[in-house]
A = this chain, B = another copy of it.
Amino acid sequence: MNVMNASPRRKELTRLAAQLFVQEGFDRTTVRMLAQEMGIKSGSLFHHFKDKQEILAAVIEEGTQNALGIAKAALQSCPGSAEARLHAMARAHLETLFADRNAHVVALFEWRRLDPAASAHLSHLRDAYEAMWGEVIDDALAEGLIHGDRFLVSRFILGALNWTVRWYDPNGPRTPDDLADELVAMILSR
Contacts and interface: CB of A to CB of B under 8 A. Distances in A.
Given A27-B25, A163-B162, A156 B186 contact: yes
Q: Please classify the interface of chain A as helix (H, G, I), strand (E, B), loop, or mixed, using the class held by over half of its residues.
A: helix
Interface residues of A, number: 32
Contacts of A174: 152
Contacts of A190: 147, 189-190
Contacts of A117: none
Q: How many copies does the complex hold?
A: 2
B160 A164 contact: no
Nearest to A161: B159
Interface in A144-180: 146-149, 152-153, 155-164, 166-167, 174, 179
A38 interface: no
Nearest to A108: B166
A54 to B, nearest CB: 18
Given A155-B164, A163-B158, A148 B186 contact: yes
B186 A187 contact: yes
A28 B25 CA distance: 12
A182 interface: yes
